[in-house]
Structures are given as structure tokens and as C-alpha cells.
Amino acid sequence: METIKTSKLNQVIALFIGSIFFITSAYAQKPKLIIGIVVDQMRVDYLYRYQSKFGEGGFKRLMNNGFFNKNANYNYVLTYTAPGHASIYTGSTPRFHGIISNDWYDKRNGKNVYCTQDDNVQTVGSNSEAGKMSPRNMMTNTIGDELRLATNLKSKVIGISQKDRSSILPAGHIANAAYWFDGDNGIFISSTFYMKQLPAWVTSFNEKKLADKYLSQDWTTLLPLASYTESIADDNPYEGLFKGETKPVFPHKLAELKEKNKGYNIIRSTPFGNSLTKDFALEALKNEDLGKDDITDFLTVSFSSTDYVGHKYGINAVETEDTYLRLDKDLEELLNYVEKNIGKENVLIFLTADHGGAHNAAYLESLRMPAGYVQPKVIADSVKNYMKKIYGDTLVLSYTNQQFFLDHKALTNKKLNLREVTEKIALYTQQLDGVANAYTVFDIRNASGSNDIALSRIYMGYNDKRSGDVAVNYLPAYLDFHKTGTTHGATYTYDTHIPLLWYGWKIKVGESYESVNITDIAPTVASFLDIAFPNGCVGKPILNLTK
């Protein structure tokens, strides 16, 4: 009897050891760490334009030693920061994940809401209101959420960015942490959605006051100014100014300009905001022991200064070129650390962008190219006057994110037909300067598979709970912006065509011109990890990336 019990015990032990070996082997076949890098407002052509000035260890390391999807695009509009980051990591579009813009008109409450706004949580790390944020407005989960679920919450998932939305939305709903920059205090913070207090390493990092160090210097060009031949003249009328400057030229004296430009927030519009983000990411890698065991971890890093610089100076500015040359060095430092301490063969890295950016319309006009500006208030007022003339009521509650939100109570009280009213608005709006076309909610709902590219992208960006009744599409190169710098958000390739680079774990060297969508990233990563796709995923795995 004793021998039988011992035999059964040995079998149980053997099964237990075997299961541990199987689980360990399964994990060992996967990357120890995934790093998702998003460069805010990065057009794909920057890789070619600045290539001769890049070093070998940053962008060119990824291009020459990884896989380059050269025809990667966004398949929806609006191409803004929040929906871009949400779409990359959910494998979905605003139609399903609900992040239709950075902010939107709330039809139930009659006011605008911010994408990560959450009044039920508090700031962790400072006394500001900047931490009252969470991912609760996102309706689907992320690849990081699926990784955490698949490993019974053993994987670490952490999001980092200057922008709250660019760290929170990528990290997902059950991330270990998300951190972002508090411009009032010059430090990184979080929210009670994730933690009660900052980890000791974050507090120690903040105590170094690196933002002060970066802002104590002038922003001068990394290379001799005359060598920036990929950009237009440093002194030109198409670039914005810091308050206190009279010309948009180097050097930018940051220490002198700081107080007139919202204190620490000025760092966002310099390349040093990216450097600070890199510094913080390195500390997270070290102190969170990311990639140090056989259970895959996930770090999302978004570099936001490229967007702030782009908005202020435009895509042809010396400032923009200098920002990318300095980011190239920041990437090199990050990649060097990862390869030395974790190993290239153990880390899967992808780099992409949340949207592109347009040429400054005034600059294009100076070259006699078709371009111009639209004024949303003029469009809204014109439509309201038109509606009042026909129906005795403006019927418009809001014109937000290029969409008209109508007063449905007024429509009901006046016994008006929604289809008829929206068709009148669409037909009228299409005649206005700068407008290419306008689509009713009925056009959009029936647009699945449409050959009209603009309509199909509006369809994928349309959420029934949050979007409006008529969507307006502007003409190419017509901007809803001031006449210096640039913006983004359009259906056109200058905003939808972005870089997509893969590097590291089992990634072969190569390139492809095959069309892929931004929504294909998350299912590709999920396939590598043998885990479920995010629950709102509409993308498909990208083929032929691995050896």
C-alpha cells in the first residue's frame, strides 16, 4: 500500500515538474520584452529626408537591420493623437474603441469631454489636476491587456509619454502603470486608477529635476545651421514663435523664455521633451526589471515633442529637422541599453506614428499650389443661418471635429425628418469654400466596403454613440489651423501614411510595399505571442516578418 502511494506521489511530482517545464519552455520561445515606440506626427518621408544625417544606431539601425513596412496607413479619420494611439494598441478603429478624437461633443451631457478624462480618480505625484485621467472612455481592450490576461497578470505592462493620452491608451485597462508629464511641476505623474503613490524610483527620478537641466540651456542646432539643407530658411513667415521672441530663429533661449511660455510646458515644444521621455523610459526598464524573466513584458513609449514642434514650426522647418536628428540619438541610446542588458534576440520592437502632418498651407500658396484654410466657426455659422432660414431654428448644437451634432429634440418637436435635414446640410456645406464633400449619418452607416476612400475612412472613424449627424471632409491641403506651423487630421496620405518598422526577436531584414493598416500591428504582436487578439480588433497579422 505504501509503495502505491509513493508511486502516485512521484507521478504527481513528475506531472508538476513537467507542467512547469512546459510553461517555462513556452515562455522561453517568446520575446522577453516588447517595446512599442510611437513618434507623434511622424511622416514616413522623414526617414528618407533626414537619412543622410542620421547616425547608424537609431532610425537607420531599425531600417537597415529590421523589417520596414513602407506602405502602412491609417484606415480611418480623424487622424489625431488619441485615436491613433488607441488604434495601434487595440487593433481597432474609433468605430469600435470609441476614441473618436482627442475630445468630442458628449451628446448626452451637451458638453465637450476629453478622451482620458476621469473625475473619479485623483493625481498621484503632484497637487495638479493633470492626473485625473484613466482609460475608461476606451470601449475595447489592448494588446497589453490581452498579454496580462494570458499570463494571469504576471506580465508587466507600462505606458510612458509626455502626453497623458499617449501613455494611458496604449497601456490599456489593466496595465501596471502609465506615467505622463506634469507641465505645471516639471515631473512625471500618474493617477489613482493605477496606484496610490509613485514608486520610489519615479520619485527619485523626479527629484533629479532633469527638466530644469534641459531648460537651462539654449536650443541650438545639433549640426552647423548651414548644413540643414533638407529644410527651408530658418527665418521664414510660416513658423510660430515662443512668446518673447521676435523671429522664429536659432538659438531659442529657453531659460529666458520659460516663464512666458507656461513654465515647464515649454519643454514639450523642444527636442528635449523627447530626451526627458527617453531618460524616464530607461529608468523604467532598469527599476521595473522589464524583460528580465521568461514572462513577456510590454513597454509603450510615445515621443510627443515631434508633434508640438511640428504644430509650432511645420514640416519644413530647421527646428523640425533638428528635433528628428536629436531623437535619432535618443533612440540610439535606448536601443543600446536594451541590446546590452536584455539582448536583441529577446526584445521585439516596433516603431510607428499616430498620424502624419500637412505642409503649411500658406507656404504651398506661396508656391502657387492648391491649398488654403477653413474656419470652423464660419462653416458652423453659415449652416446655422441656412437652417434658421428654412426651418426657423438653427437645429445645430455643435460643430466639433468636422461633424454637425443636431438638436434631436427640436427635430422631434418640429416633426422634421432627420434624413431630409441632414441631406440639406450636406448639400449646402459642400458648396462652401475649402469643403470637398459632406456625408450624412445615413451615408456613413451604409458605407461599409465603399470605394469612396474618404467615406470609407469616415465610416471606420464613426462611432454611433459619440459621432455626429453630418461629417465634413475638407479639400486636400486645406487646414483648420492658424497660418504658422501645421496640423493633421485629414483623410489624405500626408496624414495617413506613416512609418512602420520592426526589429529584434526573430524579425528578418527586409521591406515590403504591400499595403498594411495601423490596425494590423496588435494582431501581429498577438500572433507572435500566441495570445488572443484584442477584443475589438479589426486588423490582420502582417505576413513574412519573421525568419
Active-site positions read: 81
For 415, the grid coordinates are 416633426
- Cα–Cα dist 135/174, whole Å: 9
- Cα–Cα dist 435/430, whole Å: 6
Is the sign of the CA dihedral 16, 17, 20, 26 positive or negative?
negative
Residue 488 · residue 355 · CB < 8 Å: yes
Beta strands in 148-231 (DSSP E): 157-161, 177-182, 187-191, 218-219
CA atoms within 13 A on the CB side of 44: 18
Classified as helix, coil or strand, 33 is: strand
| Residue 297, strand partner residues | 33
- The 10 Å CB-count burial string (b at 16+, else e) for 37-51 is bbbbbbbbebbebbe
- Cα–Cα dist 172/544, whole Å: 28
CB atoms within 10 A of CB 388: 13
Q: What is the DSSP letter of 99?
A: -
Residue 537 · residue 522 · CB < 8 Å: yes
For 250, the grid coordinates are 536659432
Helix (H) or strand (E) holding 511: strand 510-512
Residues 6+ apart with CB under 8 A from 299: 33, 34, 35, 36, 157, 158, 160, 281, 284, 285, 290
Backbone angles phi, psi at 376, to 5 degrees: -55, -35
User: How far, in Å, are 125, 206, 482 from residue 198 at the CA level?
Assistant: 6, 10, 39
For 216, the grid coordinates are 537651462
Residue 160 · residue 302 · CB < 8 Å: yes
Q: What is the DSSP letter of 360?
A: P
Residue 219 · residue 269 · CB < 8 Å: no
CB atoms within 10 A of CB 529: 22
Helix (H) or strand (E) holding 372: strand 372-373
